[in-house]
Every structure is written in structure tokens, then in C-alpha cells.
Structure 1
Amino acid sequence: MEEHEGLRLMQAQMARQCGDALLSMENNAAAARAAADSARAAGRLVLYGIGGSHYVNRSVEPLYRELGLDCRALGASEALMSPLPDLPRTAIIVSQSGESGEILELLARPAGQERRFGITLEGGSTLARLAEAVLVGAGGTEHAFAATRSIIVTLALHAAILEALGMPQEAFRAVLAADSPADTAAVDAALAGCDVVAFAGRHVLQGIAESGALSMMELARVPTIGWEGGQFRHGPFEFLRPGLGILLLRSAGVDGPGVAPLASACVEAGCTTVVFDSSGEAALPGCLTVALPRNAGLAAGLSMLLSFQPLNIAVARRRVADRIGTPVRTSKVTV
């Protein structure tokens, strides 16, 4: 099959993403320390984002809380309609382009007692100019549809702040250095008979699940949804049926024990059930397992994101081969 230009652009971005992410962590140590010092002093942290950036923020939100911060990830559009009370806090505003409409509107509003820091891929953007300090991803803006490299680099910039707060990121760096996504050809084949796909994960893996679902929906035009694992168990189980693809995320962290009962129920209902598994535990009965290196937290989430990329491209090749990587109704390349 002749490769579409949109796909070629995506593959070029993916080829450099891990190297750019490692470089981003090295190049932004000073800004990461400034954001970390501010957050530690305030004790309150809000992560603003929109689109894919919000799901990255959702991934790291529980890790900032583990470090003792009162942290929440808030969609920028929600913040505009229902602003937080004017209290002393640190804000990390995330926009890969630095020019998203909601982000610009947020920046135009008085900061009050909020100290604003930025994460972006564009050092000349409005966000970069207006933030107190900004972490800028290596390699600049992503010139491909359905954020791939930009998601990985943005996650790395959060990792730099987490490290400055005292959470080591050696395992995260090791996943980047290995740059070895899992073989997901069997998953693509298994999903060929599914008309809807649901991703579910807990803790860090909630945001990872939501990010994976968004990417598959954008690239392959498949109806998908990303769930927090606990929320998935309560209510949505009524829609389990044959023809439904379920992608469960399991790490070696606190989320791991809750995956087995979810998987059992999905298998019993006749769903095509796949586990992206960084737990190091035995495979779950009836599930197709994508075995990943044993990790927890951000490192586990990163290995899953890297493996979702070839999977989502493969699904898109099956469904929209003539226009893969080419937006139909989306005006922006990335947010």
C-alpha cells in the first residue's frame, strides 16, 4: 500500500519522539525547579489543559498528590466557565502549540494569587511569553495530525517537574531510552470484529486510557471511550457484549489488583478483552495480553502510550487507509 503523506508525517514525528523527550528533560531543569519550588511553597497545584494536553495532565495528577500537593487537573474550558477561587496556588498551563483558544483566554484573565508556569512545544508562543517560567519541549511544534510525539514530550516535561519535587524518573528514562513499543499486530486482528472500543485504567493509567481512546478515535474514526477503572465498573458494565473491544491497563502499582475482576466480567460477557500489562504478574484468563516491562506509575503509562501508537495506526490503516493522518473536521494539528 502506498503510504499516505499524513502517515509519513506521523511516522517521522514518532521516530524522534523518545530522543526529543529525553532532551526535553535535560534542557528544562531550571524551569522545572522553578515550577516545583512554587508548587511546594503554595501547597496547591492546578494543571490546566485542553484536548490531549488535559489527558496528559490527568495522568500525572495523582503523582503530584502523592508528593503532598493539593493537585487537580482542570480542563481549560471548564476553568473559564467556573473559575477556581482566588487562592494562593501554582498553575501549570499545558498547550503543545501554546496558542489554543481556551488557553489564550485563560491567560488573558488576571492571575490573582495564582503563579503561572507553562509547558509547550513552541518557545515563541503566547503561553511561553506570558508564563512566569516555561518548559519547552525539544524539537518544536509537531507537524502531524493526532498528537503522538507531542504527547510523549509533554509527559516528559511533567516528569522533569516531578523529579524536581523529589520523585525519581530513572524508570521513565529507561523506557524512553529503550524506545521499543510492543508488537500489537494480534491486538489489531482481534479488534477487527469490534465496532466500539473502551479503554480503562486507574491512577496514572486513567489519563493514559483516555489518551489512547482519543488517539484511536481521531486516527481510525472508531467510537471509543476512556474510563477510570472504578467508574467503568459502576454502570457501564450494562453495555458489555460481543463485538465490544475492551483494553484494560495494568501496572505493578496500586492500580494492578483491580484489573482481574474487570477482565473476568468482560470475558464472561463475550467482549474481546485485551490487557496491556506492566504488572509482571501472570496473564489473566481469557484475555489477549500485551506483555510490557514490569513498571508502575509514569514509566508504565509511557510504555503503554508508545505501544498504542502503532496499534492505532494499524486500526486506521484498516478503516481509513486513503486518508490516514489527514483531519476531516479538525482545524488544528495539535493542541
Structure 2
Amino acid sequence: MTSPNGLRQLEAEMERQFSDAQATWNAVAAPAAEAARSMKATGRLLLLGMGGSHWVNRMAEPFYRQAGVDASAHVLSEYMRAPLDRPATLFLTSQSGASGEVVRFLDDQPQGTVFGLTLDPDSPLARRTRPLIGCGGVELAYAATRSLLVTLTMHAAVLAALGADMAPLRAVLEEASPPYSPELRDLIAEARNAVFVGRGALQGVADAAGLSLMELARIPVLGLEAGQFRHGPFEMVGPETAIVFLRGKGDEGDNIAGLAGELIGHGLRPGIVDLSGEAAVPGAVTLSLPPRRGMAAAAAALPALQRAVIDAAARMVPDVGMPIRSTKVTSGEAA
């Protein structure tokens, strides 16, 4: 029997993630404009975070480059050990704003203008940086859900201030109705290990989904870029592996059908969260979403995949959402 407390917390976060993301769009307009001015002045953006915060930074990273900013995303604990010594705007991302790495990084008085992306207005991150604060308060459930979509929306507000068209993403937030596939849920629930695969912003979604399934179902999971999946990890998949592709529109769906077809030819049945608008791949478990690309694709795929992962995990462990070795806010690498 699943833990009512852990599962209930996860569902409560997901139920309000769209409304909180919509409210966040309006709430962060002024600091987003300030952040855009800063990165125009420096020409460079460093996106720093841990766990799910790093993966949502990865979702946004390529679109800052498309907007003309030299942007790169880094795991905060490793960046602290080998920082880049060049003028840059820094985005420090943490839903709690209080993880050990964040506090240690701020204590070291980093060089450059630091903007904090967080959900807690009273956190060290909010108090000690120029904050963008997401709406709805801190996330309580173990495994990030709402915080990812809200943080993605904060990035979208900054990109809009840089001149990018974020109307497609806003349309996703207004729809607030991700489709559901019991077949995809069952594909994941019956697995002993898993691989999530994507390109572009959808690679960050794949990584975030992989992290969530590891946290909730406690099985080995990889999140990989599609090309990297073909270069070696093809050998580790088998009948007990859930292989889930994210297939975007245009170049964000390049060769996903080919990779899935290869696996099907080897007797495996992959899943595809499909936003390509192309014909479904015969033999795959397909969750079809309206055609989208870029940040809008990430915003649409993220909640849909969250639902499948959480429902699958609830069938795999008796106490889903109740960590046995971890805490929601960790001291991590602070020691």
C-alpha cells in the first residue's frame, strides 16, 4: 500500500503547478528584465544548481545561447571547485534557496552579479542575491515537480526580456491539462531499470524524469542525450529496461524514430512522449502531445512525464515519496 502522505504531497504540488507558474510569469517581470540587462552587459551567463535545479537550468541553457548570450550550465558543487574566471552574470538556482552548496557558495563571496532563482522569499538565496521568486511557496514533496515548472517559467520570463518569443510556453501554462497514458505508466512500473532520452530542452526533461524515478522508485536510471544513448548505452538495455524517448518537433526529434525502430527490431518496446507532429512509431508505446518545440515542448512534456513516473513509482514501492536516506533540503557537498 502506497504511503498516503508522500503521494498526497506529490499530487498536491502537481495540482497547482500550472497556476503557480502562470502567477510567477507576472511576478518576476521586473527582476527578469534586470537579469536580461545584466547578461547583455556581461555577454555571458553561468547557470548553477544541484539536482533538479541543474536539470531545469539545462532545459533553458540552449535558448539563452539562441538569444545571443554565451550561456553554460554547471553542477554547482563542481563549479565551486573549478570556477570560470571571466566576467559573467550568475544564475544560482535552488527551490529551497538553502541547500548546503548554495550557502557555501554565497559565503565564498562569488565574483559577478548573482541572481537567485528560488521559491522561498525568506531563504539565504533570496536574501543574499538579486532574487527571482517563484509563486506558491517552497515545495514540500520529495522529488521535484512544481518547482521545475515554476523555475522553467522564471527562465522563460528572462528569455522574453531578451526578446525571445515565449507565447507558445505561456499557451502551455494556460492549457494546464497534460494528457495521460496508462500504457506508459505500466511500461515504467514493470521495469527494473530505465533510460530517458531527449534532445535540446527535452534532454533536460529526460534528466529530470530520470532523477525523479531514481528518487521515488529507487531503481537505476539514466538520462541521456539521444546521440550519447546510441554511443554505448544501447548495450545495457534489455527486457527489464524502460526506455522512454522525448520526441520534439523539428531537429528536437532528429532520429528518435530511428533509434526507437532499432530497439523494436531487437524485440524491445520503447515509450515515446511525442511532440513531433509526425506519425507514431509502430511498435512503441506513444503518448501523443500537440506539436511543440523549445521551451514550450519542455513545459508540456515535463508535467505529462511527471504523472507517468509518479504513478509508476507508486506501484513499485510501498512508501512512494517518503525518502529513506535523504531529505528535501540537503547539506550535500557543504562539508
In the other structure, the counterpart of 1:82 is 82
**CA–CA separation in structure 2 for the residues paired with 1:172 and 1:221:** 32
Instruction: State how far apart, in whole Å, the 1-side matches of 2:5 and 2:33 are.
Output: 40
TM-score by length of 2: 0.95
* 8 A contact 2:98–2:329 mirrored in 1: no
Superposition RMSD in Å: 1.5
Question: What is the one-letter code of the residue matched to 1:330?
Answer: S
Shift of 1:332: 2.1
Conserved 8 A contact 1:39-1:45: yes
Q: Counterpart in 2 of 1:103?
A: 102
Letter in 2 for 1:17: Q
Residue 201 of structure 1 contacts residue 209 of structure 1 at CA under 8 Å; is this kept in 2?
A: yes
- Aligned CA distance change for structure 1 residues 18 and 283 (closer, same or farther; 3 Å): same
Corresponding residue of 1:143: 140
**Cα offset for 1:240?**
2.9
- Report what 1:56 is aligned to: 56
Deviations 1:23-47 (A, max 9, x none): 0010110100010111111111100
**Aligned equivalents of 1:69, 1:84: Cα separation in 2:** 16
Matched residue type, 1:72? S
Q: CA deviation at 1:272?
A: 2.6
The residue correspondences of 1:144-183 to structure 2 (distance < 5 A) are 144-183=141-180
Equivalent residue runs for 1:1-335 within 5 Å: 4-85=4-85, 87-112=86-111, 114-131=112-129, 133-321=130-318, 323-332=319-328
Q: Aligned AA for 2:178? A: P
**1:47 & 1:64 partners in 2: Cα distance?**
10
Q: For 1:186 and 1:331, how far apart are their aligned partners in 2?
A: 31
Q: Kindly indicate whether the alpha-carbon contact (under 8 Å) linking 2:117 and 2:154 is maintained by their aligned counterparts in 1.
A: yes
**Contact 1:6–1:144 (CA<8 Å) still a contact in 2?**
yes
Q: In 2, Cα distance between the equivalents of 1:291 and 1:187?
A: 11
* TM-superposed deviation, 1:3: 6.1
SS of residue matched to 1:194: coil
Query: Between the two proteins, what is the percent identity of the paired residues?
Result: 45
Q: Report the Cα distance in structure 1 between the residues aligned to 2:323 and 2:2, rounded to whole angstroms.
A: 19
Aligned residue identity for 2:127: R
Any idea what SS the aligned residue of 2:224 has?
A: strand
Q: 1:149 to 1:192 in 2, by over 3 A?
A: closer
SS in structure 1 opposite 2:267? coil
**Letter paired with 1:91:** L
Q: Letter of the aligned partner of 2:102 in structure 1?
A: I
1:201-229 Cα shifts (integer Å, max 9, x gaps): 01111111000111111112222110011
**TM-fit CA distance, 1:2:** 7.4
Shift of 1:241: 2.3
Q: Secondary structure at the match of 2:96?
A: coil
Deviation at 1:143, TM superposition (A): 1.3
TM-score by length of 1: 0.95
Going from structure 1 to structure 2, the CA distance change for 1:192 and 1:16 (only over 3 Å counts) comes to: closer
The change in CA–CA distance for 1:55 and 1:287 in structure 2 (over 3 A counts) is: same
Q: Distance in 2 between the 1:241 and 1:102 partners? A: 37
Structure 2: gaps spanning 5 or more residues: none
CA contact (8 A) 1:142 1:333 kept: no
Q: CA deviation at 1:236?
A: 1.1
Name segments (4+ residues, structure 1) moved above 3 Å.
Answer: none
Letter in 2 for 1:105: R
| The 10-residue stretch of structure 1 (76-85 or 308-317) with the greater mean CA deviation from structure 2 | 308-317
Supply the AA of the counterpart residue of 1:41: A
Residues 290-329 of structure 1: per-residue CA shift (max 9 Å, x gap): 10011101111111111112211211221113x1111111
Unaligned runs of 5+ in 1: none
SS of structure 1 residue aligned to 2:136: coil
The answer (yes or no) to whether the contact 2:189–2:313 under 8 Å persists in 1 is no
Q: Matched residue pairs, number? A: 331
Cα gap change, 1:146 to 1:334, in 2 (>3 Å): farther
In 2, distance between residues paired with 1:111 and 1:3? Answer: 42
Distance 1:319 1:333, change over 3 A: farther
Amino acid aligned to 1:79 = Y
AA in 2 matched with 1:116: V
Identify which range, 286-295 or 3-12, moves more after superposition: 3-12
Could you tell which deviates more after superposition, 187-196 or 16-25?
A: 187-196
Secondary structure of 1:134 counterpart: strand
Distance in 1, matches of 2:98 and 2:42, equals: 27
Q: Is the 8 A contact 1:244 1:272 kept in 2?
A: no
